[in-house]
């Protein structure tokens, strides 16, 4: 396995190529975090698509769009653009899975109030939450528990936001992923087929007993709910003006939408983070955030050497059962799981369906909106 001489990406990262000096192409070219930057023409097309779409739908439904709002800086920034610049009537949506995840933050109420939005929240029943995460920890993808839990959790957020939009007849679901966030997986628009693929990642989970009718009702299953109208699912920050992260923070603070000291860090404060890190580190022999760390090195925020040392330290601590041991034990207790069970499940994990192919091969289409207009 080759490791990039400048950042820390390895040759098994999807689509990575190295030059003769052993430097990856993300280090050699302009990039957006985990990917080469999108072609400028595509960004332009998508931006036009977004602005035309917004013009067409404004004021025609009870809400123009459902916006997934975490209270973090990116979703606050998007909320600001949507309400102030695009004058949309937004239904804000927040999901709380019950493990202190960063899907909700202290700024949430402030943003909702200042921008005059209506807020709907979905707090998972504790029993469901436990069943859900227990299942994921014992049925991980080959990529590890961190990848599994984060992906499926995002999938739930998307699915429940779509369900809400269906109920309220809102033609759009919007989410504030920054140009630097999860662009490995998605760019600008998620089509129904991709949402379906993501749902398959959690396999049989949805068919098991943990699914109460109460929860079932709040989620959209593309396979079963074939007939339901499907709102467009867009990530507008990928194509709209997005100054640097620092500028966004400063601007939000200035207009009173963000108390910077209270914003959650990007890596989230989900209670399960340390347990996931611990199990993946033991299984793979290194911590599970090489991609994320590589990005920070490429952006010049941190040094390569520091992370090489940190990786070694975390791995050692994890093996010695000294890494955040109290928190990890508490998480295991809450899930009614043992470390051994999780590690054995990782051993048995199978290769998952490849779902992250070329994210820049999208073709923004307004057909869905046209269908909606026919029906209303």
Least separation in angstroms between CB 294 and Zn ion: 6
Q: How far apart are CA 166 and CA 184, in angstroms?
A: 28
Does 7 engage in binding with Zn ion (CB under 5 A)? yes
| DSSP character at residue 203 | G
Q: How far apart are CA 239 and CA 376, in angstroms?
A: 29
Q: How far apart are CA 214 and CA 212, in angstroms?
A: 5
Least separation in angstroms between CB 7 and Zn ion: 3
Give the contacts of 152 (CB within 8 A, at least 6 positions apart).
136, 198, 201, 202, 205
Site for Zn ion in 258-317 (CB under 5 A): none
Least separation in angstroms between CB 13 and Zn ion: 9
Least separation in angstroms between CB 357 and Zn ion: 21
Q: Is 82 left (phi over 0), alpha (psi -120 to 50) or beta?
A: alpha
Q: Beta strand pairing status for 35-36 and 31-32?
A: antiparallel
Give whichever of 4 and 332 is closer to Zn ion, judged by the CB atom. Answer: 4
Does 172 engage in binding with Zn ion (CB under 5 A)? no
Stretch that binds Zn ion, among 22-30, 54-62, 146-154, 161-169 (CB under 5 A): 22-30
Give whichever of 7 and 57 is closer to Zn ion, judged by the CB atom. Answer: 7
Q: Beta strand pairing status for 232-234 and 189-190?
A: antiparallel
Site size for Zn ion (CB under 5 A): 6
Least separation in angstroms between CB 286 and Zn ion: 17
Give whichever of 21 and 322 is closer to Zn ion, judged by the CB atom. Answer: 21
Give whichever of 6 and 58 is closer to Zn ion, judged by the CB atom. Answer: 6
Q: Tell which one of 24, 157, 314, 372 touches Zn ion (CB under 5 A).
A: 24
Least separation in angstroms between CB 42 and Zn ion: 23
Size of the chain, expressed as the number of residues it contains:
376
Stretch that binds Zn ion, among 6-14, 43-51, 232-240, 337-345 (CB under 5 A): 6-14
Cα dihedral sign for 95, 99, 102, 105?
Answer: positive
Could you tell me which residues are beta bridge partners of residue 65? 90, 172
Does 46 engage in binding with Zn ion (CB under 5 A)? no
Least separation in angstroms between CB 184 and Zn ion: 14
Stretch that binds Zn ion, among 20-28, 40-48, 194-202, 345-353 (CB under 5 A): 20-28
| 3-state class (DSSP) for residue 189 | strand
Could you tell me which residues are beta bridge partners of residue 66? 91, 173
Give whichever of 25 and 166 is closer to Zn ion, judged by the CB atom. Answer: 25
Give whichever of 7 and 240 is closer to Zn ion, judged by the CB atom. Answer: 7
Q: How far apart are CA 25 and CA 346, in angstroms?
A: 31
Give whichever of 283 and 298 is closer to Zn ion, judged by the CB atom. Answer: 298
Q: Tell which one of 16, 27, 317, 343 touches Zn ion (CB under 5 A).
A: 27
Q: How far apart are CA 34 and CA 15, in angstroms?
A: 11
Residue 141 CA: distances (Å) to CA of 29, 138, 204, 260, 292: 31, 10, 13, 36, 19
Least separation in angstroms between CB 352 and Zn ion: 25
Q: How far apart are CA 133 and CA 359, in angstroms?
A: 28
Binding region for Zn ion (CB under 5 A): 4, 6-7, 9, 24, 27
């Amino acid at each position: 396995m080759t490791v990039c001489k400048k950042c820390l990406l390895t040759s098994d990262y999807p689509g990575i190529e190295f030059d003769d000096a052993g430097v990856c192409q993300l280090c050699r070219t302009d990039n957006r975090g985990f990917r080469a930057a999108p072609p400028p023409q595509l960004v332009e097309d998508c931006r036009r698509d977004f602005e035309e779409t917004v013009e067409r739908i404004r004021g025609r439904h009870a809400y123009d769009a459902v916006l997934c709002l975490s209270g973090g800086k990116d979703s606050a920034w998007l909320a600001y653009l949507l309400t102030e610049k695009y004058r949309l009537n937004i239904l804000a949506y927040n999901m709380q899975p019950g493990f202190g995840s960063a899907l909700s933050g202290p700024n949430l109420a402030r943003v909702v109030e200042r921008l005059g939005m209506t807020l709907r929240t979905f707090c998972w029943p504790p029993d469901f939450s436990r069943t859900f995460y227990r299942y994921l920890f014992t049925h991980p993808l080959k990529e590890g528990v961190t990848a599994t839990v984060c992906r499926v959790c995002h999938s739930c957020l998307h699915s429940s936001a779509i369900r809400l939009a269906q109920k309220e007849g809102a033609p759009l679901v919007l989410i504030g992923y920054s140009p630097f966030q999860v662009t490995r997986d998605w760019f600008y628009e998620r089509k129904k087929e991709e949402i379906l693929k993501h749902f398959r990642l959690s396999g049989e989970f949805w068919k098991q007993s943990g699914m109460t009718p109460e929860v079932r009702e709040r989620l959209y299953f593309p396979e079963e709910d074939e007939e339901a109208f499907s709102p467009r699912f867009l990530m507008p920050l990928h194509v709209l003006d997005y100054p640097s992260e620092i500028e966004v923070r400063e601007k939000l603070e200035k207009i009173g939408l963000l108390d910077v000291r209270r914003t959650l860090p990007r890596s989230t404060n989900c209670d399960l983070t340390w347990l996931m890190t611990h199990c993946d580190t033991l299984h793979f022999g290194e911590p599970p955030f090489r991609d994320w760390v590589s990005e920070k090195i490429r952006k010049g925020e941190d040094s390569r050497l520091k992370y090489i040392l940190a990786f070694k330290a975390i791995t050692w601590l994890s093996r010695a059962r000294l890494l955040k041991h109290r928190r990890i034990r508490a998480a295991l207790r809450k899930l009614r799981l043992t470390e051994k069970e999780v590690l054995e499940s990782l051993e048995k994990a199978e290769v998952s369906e490849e779902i992250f192919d070329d994210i820049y091969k999208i073709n923004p289409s307004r057909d869905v909106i046209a269908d909606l207009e026919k029906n209303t």
